Structure 1
Amino acid sequence: MTQKSVEFYNGNTIPALGLGTFRVENNDECTEAVKHAIISGYRHIDTAQTYHNEEKVGQGIKEGLEVSGLNRKDLFVTTKLWMSDYGSENVQDAYEASLKRLGLEYVDLYLIHWPGQDEHLIAETWKAMEQLYNDGKVKNIGVSNFHVHHLESLLQVASIKPVINQIECHPYLTQKELRTYLEAQKIVAQSWSPLMNGQILEDETVKTIADELGKTPAQIIIRWNIDESIVVIPKSVTPSRIEENLNVFDFELTSEQLSRLNALNKDGRIGPDPETFTGN
């Protein structure tokens, strides 16, 4: 199965599909899910400080690499800085604490998790992220849940542009304006919770297109992301679904099918609105 990668403006690449671990408990089920994903062919694992599962994600990475015979460099690992550790004096310690929990010497991508309400604090935090990057401690740095105005504020003070913005994105929330801005800035778009906790899988249009192509609704949504040039990280702890979610590289959606899916947009969120979210 030939997987697809997306290139960052700095020349590094990220696999177009990864395993998300949001709301996965820090237990053996988490370890087994990550391990199974790697054995099944995933090369991209996403976690975060605030998911409180970095230890078991790291254990799954360790076991998955051992069983599959891969090296660390074959895998792309993302984690994220939580809002309680924003500020120049906290970033390095928080990053090193994440590395310790993961059992890794570096991650491939480190993200500011939410923009919050204080752009000066974000600017200060980003400078510390840039320092990690310049010191060679992390391969890439980016942001998550940033709207256009958050990015414009950041870019006024940044020496290094974020390589990616991880956002809630699915056919009910296509984020077209934001994605157009990201494309112009050469910042990659990545979607979290692409399956809307399963809600979108019941949509009649999605089910019809799945029937047309002999695929599952989940595969249609994942492929929509890939065909729209969005890096996607569906979450599952079920081995069969982990495999199903990866089995999306043997077909493409037609432009007409993509149009039907894009027409489902209703600007509907299942997660917090970055405009008002404070982390509490």
Structure 2
Amino acid sequence: MNKILNHKKILNNNVEMPQFGLGTYKMTNEEESLAAVKHALKIGYRHIDTAHIYKNHKIIANAIKESGVPRNEIFITSKIWITDFKEPEAAFDRILLELETDYIDLCLLHWFAPDWEKAYKLLEEKYLQKKVRAIGVSNFMVDQLQQLLKIAQVKPTVNQIELHPQLPCLEIVDFCNKNNIAITSWQTIMKGEVSKIGEIVEISEKYKVTPAQVALRWAWERGIIIIPKSVNNFRIEENCNIDNFKLSKEEIELINKLSPEVRLGPDPNNINEL
């Protein structure tokens, strides 16, 4: 098996989470998405990242069933959307129903939004009931995590954030590392825009890999969990083929210092952008 796909992160509750997974945002075409998830599982992917707001839980459930890979070998991440924070139990139960499973491996609160405390307490209850193996958040910044840590009975295991070569998130990564909270990155390859960054292109030519592979390897070497999305079989295979080169400390620092910083998604401090 591909060493990258087989590598696990040990979360702060000792649950093992594959460090490399398949992102599924905007994967809603049933035929195309079903084939993509099945291909990923066929070649060794064991981590699927989804969310109720992505509207593809049922596609993923069918892909898992048709893949023949046992459910307990697959790590599924899903998320509760902000409009469900007031009634989080119904949202959690809907996730299980749509994914056709009696437990989820990791459940996150999608953003820092009103009623997040109520929603997080629900996740804590489901964790104690063993309906979810690990809980966490998505798009929480340092001050927001500090608020969470003050009230949490169960420490978040993961914070999933926008992170890429033009948004290295050094402060939040440092904070999470110090507090033993794993980071998952989204938009790691910037929707393919990394191919327009001269420094990334230069490094890719040196190692004879693609700019996307450089961005993924950069995040990987920082200990970040990465979940690149693709419905193309070639890209699904190429994305995880990052074990044949290693960036130097100088190259990692170079990428960390790229400017200007660019945010591709909503600002976590302004949920009105959602």
- Identify whether the pair has TM-score above 0.5, normalized to the shorter chain: yes
The match for 2:112 among 105, 108, 115 is 115
Q: Which amino acid aligns with 1:99?
A: L
Letter in 2 for 1:31: L
* C-alpha separation in 2, matches of 1:79 and 1:105: 13
- The answer to whether the aligner puts 1:79 opposite 2:78 as a matched pair is yes
Q: Distance in 1 between matches of 2:107 and 2:273?
A: 18
The farther-off stretch of 53-62 and 220-229 is 53-62
Tell me, yes or no, if structure 1 residue 99 matches structure 2 residue 100. Answer: no
Distance in 1 (CA, whole Å) between partners of 2:129 and 2:243 is 36
The whole-number CA distance in structure 1 between the counterparts of 2:194 and 2:123 is 35
**8 A Cα contact 2:267 2:273, kept in partner:** no
1:177 counterpart = 2:171: yes
Q: Distance in 2 between matches of 1:47 and 1:251?
A: 29
1:267 counterpart letter in structure 2: E
Amino acid at match of 2:9: V
Give the whole-Å Cα distance in 2 for the aligned partners of 1:247 and 1:99.
32
Q: Give the structure 2 partner of residue 14 of structure 1.
A: 17
SS of residue paired to 1:108:
strand
Deviates more, 1:107-116 or 1:248-257: 248-257
How many equivalent residue pairs?
A: 271
Alignment partner, residue 237 of structure 1: 231
Preserved contact between residue 26 and residue 54 of structure 1 (Cα < 8 Å): no
Q: Deviations over 1:100-147 (max 9, x none)?
A: 11122211100000002x3xx111111111000000000100000000
Percentage identity across paired residues of the two chains: 37
Tell whether 2:222 aligns with 1:225.
Answer: no
Alignment map for 1:55-70 (pairs within 5 Å):
55-64=58-67, 66=68, 70=69
CA shift digits 1:42-68 (9 cap, x unpaired): 11100001011111122122222x1xx
- Cα distance in structure 2, aligned partners of 1:5 and 1:252: 18
How has the CA–CA distance of structure 1 residues 264 and 153 changed in structure 2, closer, same or farther, with 3 Å as cutoff?
same
Listed as ranges, the gaps of 5+ residues in structure 2 are none
* CA–CA separation in structure 1 for the residues paired with 2:101 and 2:240: 25
Unaligned runs of 5+ in 1: none
Q: Deviations over 1:222-254 (max 9, x none)?
A: 111110111011010000000000111232211
Please provide the CA RMSD for this pair: 1.3
Mapped contact 1:6–1:14 kept (Cα < 8 A): yes
Supply the distance in 1 between the matched residues of 2:271 and 2:83 (Cα, whole angstroms).
13
TM-score (norm 2): 0.95
Runs of 4+ in 1 over 6 A off after TM superposition: none
- Is 1:33–2:27 an aligned residue pair? no
Amino acid at match of 2:33: C
